[in-house]
Amino acid sequence: MNNKPNRRDFIKLAGLIPASAMAPHALQRLSSRTSLQDGEQNVLILVFDAWSAYHVSTYGYQRETTPNLARLVDQAVVYHNHYAGGNFTTPGTASLLTGTLPWTHRAFQPNGTVIEPYVTRNIFSVFKNHYRIAYTHNPWANTLLEQFSGGMDELVPWLSLFLESYDEIIHTLFKDDDDIASVSWTRNTSINEEGFAYSLFLSHLYETLREQNIASIRKDYPRGIPAIGRAETNFILDQAVNWIGDRLTKIPQPFMGYFHFLPPHGPYRTSLEFINVFGNDGYKPITKPEDVFTQKFSQAELNNKRTEYDEFILYADNEFGMMFEQLKTSGLLENTWVVLTSDHGEMFERGIDGHSVDAMYEPVIRIPLMIFEPGRTTREDIHTPTSAIDILPTMLHVTGQEIPAWAEGKVIAPYADSSADVNRGVYTVRSNKTEQLAPLERVSITLTRGKYKIHYYAGYEERNVFEMVKLYDVEADPEELVDLVDIERDVAGTLLNELKTKLDEVNRPYL
* Cβ closest to Zn ion, residue 41 vs residue 143: 143
Residues 371, 373, 378: CA angle, nearest 5 degrees: 90
How many helices, marked H, and strands, marked E, lie in the chain?
A: 16, 18
- Comparing CB distances to Zn ion, the nearer of 254 and 263 is 263
183 burial class (0-12, 13-18, 19+ CB within 10 angstroms)?
middle
Residue 274 to residue 254: CA distance in whole angstroms? 36
Least gap, CB of 89 to Zn ion (angstroms): 3
Distances, alpha carbon 409 to alpha carbons 77, 216, 508, in Å = 18, 47, 21
Candidate segments 72-80, 114-122, 343-351, 455-463, binder of Zn ion by CB under 5 A: 343-351
Nearer to Zn ion, 53 or 491 (CB): 53
Q: Which is nearer to Zn ion, 198 or 258 (CB)?
A: 258
Q: How far is the CB of 260 from Zn ion (least distance, A)?
A: 8
> Is residue 346 near Zn ion by the rule CB under 5 A?
no
Phi, psi of 370 (to 5 degrees): -135, 130
Cβ distance to Zn ion smaller for residue 254 or 266? 266
Site string for Zn ion, 446-485 (x = CB under 5 A): ----------------------------------------
CA 232 to chain centre: 21
- Which residue's CB is nearer to Zn ion, number 51 or number 59? 51
Which of the residues 69 through 128 are near Zn ion (CB under 5 A)? Answer: 89
Q: Rounded distance, CA 19 to CA 239, Å?
A: 29
Region near Zn ion per CB under 5 A, out of 39-47, 179-187, 339-347, 449-457 = 339-347
Instruction: Determine the interface stretch with Zn ion among 44-52, 295-303, 322-330, 408-416 (rule: CB under 5 A).
Output: 44-52
143 binds Zn ion (CB under 5 A): no
Q: Indicate the helix (H) or strand (E) that contains 381.
A: strand 380-382
Nearest approach in angstroms of CB 145 to Zn ion is 13
Residues 419-438 that bind Zn ion (CB under 5 A): none
β-bridge mates for residue 429, sequence order: 445
In the bound complex, what is the minimum distance in angstroms from residue 90's beta carbon to Zn ion?
8
In this structure, the chain runs to a length of 511
**Residue 39 CB, nearest distance to Zn ion (Å)?**
33
Least Å from the CB of residue 50 to Zn ion: 5
- Return d(Cα 485, Cα 478) in angstroms, integer: 16
Distance in angstroms (rounded) separating the CA atoms of residues 261 and 245: 13
Q: Which CB atom, from 229 or from 404, has the smaller least distance to Zn ion?
A: 229
Q: Tell me whether residue 49 or residue 311 sits nearer to Zn ion (CB atom).
A: 49
Smallest gap from Cβ 138 to Zn ion, in A, equals 6
Q: CB of 355: closest distance to Zn ion in angstroms?
A: 7
Which x/- pattern, by CB under 5 A, does the window 191-230 give for Zn ion? ----------------------------------------
Interface residue with Zn ion, options 154, 308, 311, 343 (CB under 5 A): 343
- Give how many residues touch Zn ion by CB under 5 A: 4
Distances (CA, A) of 6 to 158, 212, 335: 11, 28, 35
Q: Minimum Å distance from CB 471 to Zn ion? A: 27
CB of residue 53 vs Zn ion: minimum separation in angstroms? 14
CB nearer to Zn ion: give 49 or 353. 49
Q: How far apart are CA 43 and CA 123, in angstroms?
A: 11
Beta bridge partners, 371, equal: 77, 339
Q: Where are the alpha helices (DSSP H) in 389-479?
A: 391-398
Which CB, 89 or 104, lies closer to Zn ion? 89
CA distance 225 to 214: 9
Q: Residue 198 or residue 259: which is nearer to Zn ion going by CB?
A: 259
CA distance linking residue 491 with residue 464, whole number of Å: 25
**49 near Zn ion, rule: CB under 5 A:** yes
Tell the smallest beta-carbon distance from residue 76 to Zn ion (Å).
Answer: 23
Q: Could you give the CA distance from residue 277 to residue 110 in angstroms, rounded to a whole number?
A: 33
Closest separation between CB of residue 111 and Zn ion, Å?
11
Which among 369, 391, 343, 340 has a CA at the least distance from the CA of 124? Answer: 391
Nearest by Cα to 369 from 325, 338, 339: 339
**Pairing state between β 465-473 and 452-460:** antiparallel
Cα 352 to the center of its chain, rounded Å = 22
Which residues 6+ apart lie within 8 Å of 6 measured at CB?
173
- CB-wise, 49 or 362, nearer to Zn ion? 49
Indicate the DSSP class of residue 366.
B
Which chain residues interact with Zn ion by CB under 5 A? 49-50, 89, 343
